[in-house]
Amino acid sequence: MKKNGFFTRETSRGICLSVVLLAFLASASFALERVVGANSTFDMEAGARSAALGSATMAVDGDYLGLLSNPYQLSHARYSWVNFSHTEYYEDTKYDFASAVFPLSDRQSLGIAFSRFGADDIPWIKEGEPIPEGEQYNTISIADWVFSVSWGRRLTDRLDLGVSFHGIYRDMDQTGFGFRSDVGVRYNALENLYLSALLKGWTSSAARWESGEVEYSSPEVFLAASYAIPISYLYGSLEMYWQSAGLLHQESRAMEFDDAEELDGRFWENPVDWLSGGHGGVEFNFDFGLSLRAGLASFTTWRSFTAGAGLVIAHFVKVDYAFENHPVLSPIHRVSVSVSPYLFSHVPTPEKPHLTAAKAAQKPLDEEPEELEPESEPEASKPETLEKQVENAPEEPTRTLEPEPQESVPAGGMYWEE
């Protein structure tokens, strides 16, 4: 082993590799920029039902247009569903979303989703070119294309698990790619009380642009809860939903731009500000399939109110509508439709009244009720024929008919004899 001054040759090579590695990490850290909402398209509301409930998507069960924020609801999916939604925002911006749910067993399901958020026919003039007259100008389109895969499974009778993976392709002034992974759990604390937690971006939420710049957002935790109250007098049930703001990071809680700096405390710094940044809603579901909804997209202002309705048609089609008001921007109208191919040709299996909801959900979809064989009755309990009954009848004791004693009448008197 030859020496080069005070270091060996192997030591010199190690130092050179370390310097190169540090230089590479320094250049990578310079290009990596931490931002808030690196892939904010993943957080957009898609379903009209959840939107009408103040976008408390994490707490809503059965809205399969909200798989990007609620993957654990797949543990209760009993039938296959195909879902569509369309939303038009301001400045002709559109958001189209489609998802499908496939039950894998009685305890787990798989969901896929595909969406496009963007705008078309945007006037575009190259730098240095004169402004064209009339409508003779070039147009471009910008869009975010999202593909998502979600999986949910029931771990126990009370605990559900959900995992989802999202990918995004951006076609703007420059192209880019991004991804995020989420994991969530839901716990049935009481009979009609569910508590949920979602870790968004446990792998971080990152986006890489064509220029080589990389953006990322740190993981964030959200909480949610739902509670149902049966009201038989009104032939339905009242359900309440709540979803919190981010638990770990400091962010703006207000929807009004003027007050954005006043409500930005973390949970442990200012619990009141954190609670005011939440959102929620109430829903009344009638037994005949009609649902009425209302909510707040932010507890900081009443001008963020939401409202909507839903209707179940022929047990295999659901139609939902939502109206969303905004303190600054234009109101939003949202429509969604859900269709079940399985229920189109099958009648839903009614749940037995003596089974709880948890036990009924554990039964396989294709399981037929067992036919009980009649138990053999003992011979003593079988009905006898008329002849046998006569033969086996006990003999009654013979009774002799004696004349009834008559009352005595005084001599010379008159009496009636029958």
Q: What is the pLDDT of residues 258-271, one digit of tens each?
A: 444 455 566 677 78
User: How confident is the model over 106-130, as a mean pLDDT?
Assistant: 86
The larger pLDDT score, comparing residue 1 to residue 327, is at 327
**Residues 6+ away with beta carbon under 8 Å from 354:** none
Q: How far apart are CA 318 and CA 81, in angstroms?
A: 10
- Give tens-digit pLDDT for 357-375: 334 444 444 444 445 555 5
- Minimum mean pLDDT among 116-125, 168-177, 195-204, 324-333: which range? 116-125
Q: To the nearest whole number, what is the mean pLDDT of the chain? A: 78
Residue 58 gets which letter from DSSP?
G
- Minimum mean pLDDT among 59-73, 178-192, 273-287, 352-366: which range? 352-366
Q: How far apart are CA 77 and CA 110, in angstroms?
A: 9
Q: How far apart are CA 378 and CA 383, in angstroms?
A: 10
Phi, psi of 293 (to 5 degrees): -135, 155
Of 336, 306, 339, residue with least CA distance to 323: 306
pTM recorded for the entire structure = 0.72
Q: How far apart are CA 348 and CA 344, in angstroms?
A: 10
* Predicted local confidence at residue 15, as pLDDT: 52
Looking at the chain, how many residues does it have? Answer: 418
Of 136, 170, 148, 133, residue with least CA distance to 46: 148
- Minimum mean pLDDT among 163-167, 251-255, 287-291, 340-344: which range? 251-255
Of 175, 176, 169, 119, residue with least CA distance to 142: 119
* Predicted local confidence at residue 188, as pLDDT: 96
* Predicted local confidence at residue 410, as pLDDT: 43
> Concatenated DSSP letters for 136-189?
--EEEEEEEEEEEEEEEEE-SSSEEEEEEEEEEEEESSSEEEEEEEEEEEEEE-
* Predicted local confidence at residue 323, as pLDDT: 96
Task: Give yes or no for a contact between 275 and 289, defined as CB atoms under 8 angstroms apart.
Answer: no
Q: How far apart are CA 39 and CA 47, in angstroms?
A: 19
Q: How far apart are CA 387 and CA 394, in angstroms?
A: 13
Task: Give yes or no for a contact between 119 and 162, defined as CB atoms under 8 angstroms apart.
Answer: no
Whether the per-residue pLDDT at 293 is higher than 90: the answer is: yes
Exposure string (b/e) for 220-242, b if CB count within 10 Å is 16 or more? bbbbbbbbbeeeeeeebbebbbb
User: How confident is the model over 173-197, as a mean pLDDT?
Assistant: 93
* Predicted local confidence at residue 135, as pLDDT: 67
* Predicted local confidence at residue 403, as pLDDT: 52
* Predicted local confidence at residue 364, as pLDDT: 46
Q: What's the pLDDT band for 64 if we cut at 50, 70, 90? A: very high
Q: How far apart are CA 155 and CA 61, in angstroms?
A: 17
The larger pLDDT score, comparing residue 410 to residue 196, is at 196
Which alpha helices (DSSP H) does 7-100 contain, by range?
9-31, 48-52
